[in-house]
Amino acid sequence: MTAGPLLLISDHVAGNVRVLTVPDGEEAARLTRRHLSEHAGFLALPRGRVACVDDRRGELLVLDPFGPELVEAAVPVAAPAEHLAADPTGRWVAVTTGLGRNGAPWSDLLTVADLATGDAARVRTRAGEPGVTVLGGAVGDPLLVLRHREPGALDVHSFAALLGAPPGCPPAAPLASLPLPGDGHGDAQLPCAGRVFAATGEGVHAARREGGRLVAEAVIPWGAPGRGWYLRLDTRRPALWSTLRAGPADPLRWTSWTNRAWRHDLETGRTTGADLGPGLVFRLALAREHTAFTRVHPDGDELILLGADASAPAARVPLPAMDGAPRRGGTPWEGVQRRAVAASPGARWVAVTRGGHGEVHLIDARTGGETTRLRLDTPLHHGGHLALRTPADGAEADPVGR
């Protein structure tokens, strides 16, 4: 296969996955009857591989787009998948369960797996939508950290103990716990320092590993109106990224939400940001020299490219409207089309979907121009989900599914 870059495109509604070469868009591989969890996303693993969860089959998939066979491994896991994470080596993987198509939390199942042996186990923790990180074993056995809400907590478990749990999905009590506000949403870790981060309304709560427990550090303030609902580690340089959303609490007034890019340098402690405009902005993607955001609004959608310091937009790229896009007076996520965005820290391209149209815009971040528009034979309902990898882009240094 090609040495990359390669773009993985999931239509989780139609049930297919494609691997396309970048920038020419030739199909390199395809999976059918695979309904991937959009919420758990793609988890970058070493050597250009990715992990994801097939929610319908209840399987953790390890995909190797650069190898002779796309599916390298499949491990049974509990579904619906909520969050997905690995330790820094990519060996120890955890999958939490969430709401799925249900109105209230109902599943308390957690699955852990050893990708080196294929062993897996399921245990019961707490019903909800827990976030998860897996701290590495450089200073001891791997630790699994669950970020719970209502009541909020960072619960610490021994990964080895979870993996050795007997059959029958027994309850698993944490080894230690740190209190956390009840509105946590967004997780990251800095593997080289054994630090974990959780986004809350009051700021980013940080903690560091000491042996088999976590020690709380100072809360990192947002420093601007609103809060981040998403947290991502910058693998190009030690920093955290998010989008601060402020404005009306009523989701029917989403067109009046304000959005601000937020970047916190973990070496200097300096926080910077840039206004992105009104509407819906959520996930972001990290390219070689830029950070990409998509903004959806009835007055016009756009891709926004920021430079390394997040001080001001480097480019604003208009995107064609979507049929079935969110409208004024409705919510921005129920029964509407959306956009997914992906990039690789080893490449200059940014990919953005046009939900419902089966199109992917491939943007050259250096120029802000559209290199090509990929047209698929699948609609990409709800925007689909994307991952862009090169074999040695280092994206696995962020071991949380995105």
Banded model confidence at residue 138, pLDDT cuts 50, 70, 90: low
Q: How far is it, in rounded angstroms, from Cα 43 to Cα 399?
A: 7
CA distance 352 to 341: 5
DSSP string, 82-149: EEEEE-TTS-EEEEEE--SS-SS----EEEEEETTTTEEEEEE--SS--EEEEE-STTSS-EEEEEET
H-helix or E-strand spanning residue 389: strand 385-389
Helix (H) or strand (E) holding 351: strand 349-354
pLDDT confidence band for 197 (50 / 70 / 90): very high
Q: Compute the average pLDDT of residues 73-86.
A: 98
Please provide the average confidence, as pLDDT, over all residues in the chain: 96
Task: Compute the average pLDDT of residues 76-100.
Answer: 96
Predicted confidence (pLDDT) at residue 139 exceeds the cutoff of 80: no
Mean pLDDT within 32-61: 97
Say if residue 149 is exposed, middle or buried (CB neighbours under 10 Å; 0-12, 13-18, 19+). buried
Split at pLDDT 50, 70, 90, the class of 81 is: very high
pLDDT of residue 140: 64
Helix (H) or strand (E) holding 159: helix 159-163
Reply yes or no on whether the pLDDT at 220 is more than 90.
yes
* Burial 156-193, CB ≥16 within 10 A → b, else e: bbbbeebbebeeebeebebeebbebbeebbbbbbbbee
| One-letter identity of residue 18 | R
The pLDDT tens digits for 368-380 are 999 999 999 999 9
Residue 238 banded pLDDT, cuts 50, 70, 90: very high
Dist. CA 273–CA 269, nearest whole Å:
13
φ, ψ (nearest 5 deg) of residue 82: -105, -55
pTM above 0.85, yes or no: yes
The confidence score (pLDDT) of residue 2 equals: 59
Query: Domains, the chain, ranges and CATH?
Result: 7-33+222-402 (2.40.128.630)
- For residue 98, is pLDDT > 60? yes
Determine the Cα–Cα distance for residues 386 and 370; give it in Å rounded to an integer: 17
CA pair distance 56, 58, nearest whole angstrom: 6
Whether 201 has a pLDDT exceeding 60, the answer reads: yes
The mean pLDDT value for 327-350 works out to 96
Structure tokens at 163: 């993996």
Percent of the chain at pLDDT above 70?
99
Query: Helix, strand, coil: what percent of the chain each, to 5?
Result: 5, 45, 50
Residue pair 60/75 in contact by the 8 Å Cβ criterion: yes
What share of the chain in percent tops pLDDT 90?
94
Q: What pLDDT is recorded for position 71?
A: 98
Query: What amino acid occupies position 188?
Result: A
Strand order in the sheet with 50-54: 43-44, 50-54, 59-63, 71-76
Q: Rounded CA gap, 197 and 217, in Å?
A: 10
Q: What is the arithmetic mean of pLDDT over 14-33?
A: 97
Cα distance between residue 355 and residue 359, in whole Å = 7
Question: How far is Cα 363 from Cα 388, in angstroms, rounded to an integer?
Answer: 13
pLDDT of 310: 86
